[in-house]
Amino acid sequence: MKDKNVMLIGFMGTGKTTVSQKLALDHGMHEIDLDSYIVDREKMNITDIFAEMGEEGFRDIETDCLKDVVDRTGNIVSCGGGSVLRDENVELMKKNGVIVLLTATPETVFERVKDDNTRPLLNGNMNIEFITELMRKREDRYKEVADVVVDTDGKSIQEIADEISQQVGL
Ligand code: S3P
């Protein structure tokens, strides 16, 4: 697996970052959080990038950063929730990577993200109805690009990490 990457995708609040960190620890691999990579590179937080450059501007930066990240292998990469919307990004993810989709119900997502204001798409829309609608718009896409799907509802971080390790063969 050291010659590949594990790319975690899924809706905001499905636990991608936390699970990536756990997987990296368990397997002595390196963890890369694409959003953090973007913030470090741009020296700006996600909210400010959206405010100054709009969602398309953010998506361009996201694609650029993904290109950097997939040049290396042996990483667990936590990808932002909207990163699979562009075909180009999915091709990049598949280049050296296995794509793992994490899922959760809108209610679980809401509980995990409700006190966090760092996601511009949810600011002013922090309710189960909005989350349900955006998730519904994206869910076919997530499923279509995923190699492996792991549901996270009611599971501990360790259980999710173990399920991924087993399915991917880490
Ligand atoms: C987004 C998800 C966020 C971040 C940005 C846009 C999305 O990442 O990339 O706010 O479009 O779903 P997380 O999924 O890590 O919260």
Find out whether the beta carbon of 33 lies less than 6 Å from any atom of ligand 1: no
Share of the chain above pLDDT 90, in %: 98
Kindly tell me if the per-residue pLDDT of 147 is higher than 80: yes
Burial of 43 (0-12, 13-18, 19+ CB in 10 A): exposed
pLDDT in tens, 83-139: 999 999 999 999 989 999 999 999 999 999 999 999 999 999 999 999 999 999 999
Radius of gyration in angstroms for the set of CA atoms belonging to the chain, rounded to a whole number = 15
Q: How does DSSP classify residue 13?
A: T
97 lines ligand 1 (CB under 6 A): no
Question: In the predicted model, what is the mean pLDDT of the chain?
Answer: 97
Ligand 1 neighbour 74 (Cβ under 6 A): no
Vertex 33 angle, CA 28 and 39, to 5°: 140
12 CA from centroid of ligand 1 (Å) = 6
Residue 4 backbone zone (phi > 0: left; psi -120 to 50: alpha; other: beta): beta
Asked if residue 84 has its Cβ within 6 Å of ligand 1, the reply is: no
Q: Are 128 and 110 in contact (CB under 8 A)?
A: yes
Local confidence band at 3 (pLDDT 50, 70, 90 cut-offs): confident
What is the rounded CA–CA span in Å between residue 131 and residue 80? 15
**CB distance 101 to ligand 1 below 6 Å:** no
Task: Name the residue of 11, 17, 21, 35 to mutate for ligand 1: max ligand atoms within 8 A of Cβ.
Answer: 35
Distance of CA 97 from the midpoint of ligand 1 (Å)? 20
pLDDT band per the 50, 70, 90 thresholds, residue 54: very high
Looking at residues 16-37, what average pLDDT do you find? 97
Between β-strands 75-78 and 30-33, what pairing exists: parallel, antiparallel or unpaired?
parallel
- Could you give the dihedral angle defined by the CA atoms of residues 2, 100, 34 and 57, in that order, rounded to the nearest 10 degrees? 130
State residue 166's pLDDT score: 97
pLDDT at 16: 98
Task: Establish whether residue 15 lines the binding site of ligand 1, counting it when its CB lies within 6 angstroms of any ligand atom.
Answer: no
Q: What is the token pair recorded at 45?
A: 């937080």
pLDDT (mean) for 42-66: 98
In this structure, the residue with its CA closest to atom 3 of ligand 1 is 80
- Specify the DSSP class assigned to residue 104: -
Can you say whether the dihedral through the CA atoms of 34, 38, 39, 44 is positive or negative? negative
Position 33: which residue type?
A: D
Query: 7 CB under 6 A from ligand 1?
Result: no
Q: Is the pLDDT of residue 2 over 80?
A: no
Q: pTM, whole model, 2 decimals?
A: 0.97
Q: Say if ligand 1 is within 6 A of residue 59 CB.
A: no
**What is d(CA 57, CA 88) in angstroms, rounded to the nearest whole number?**
15
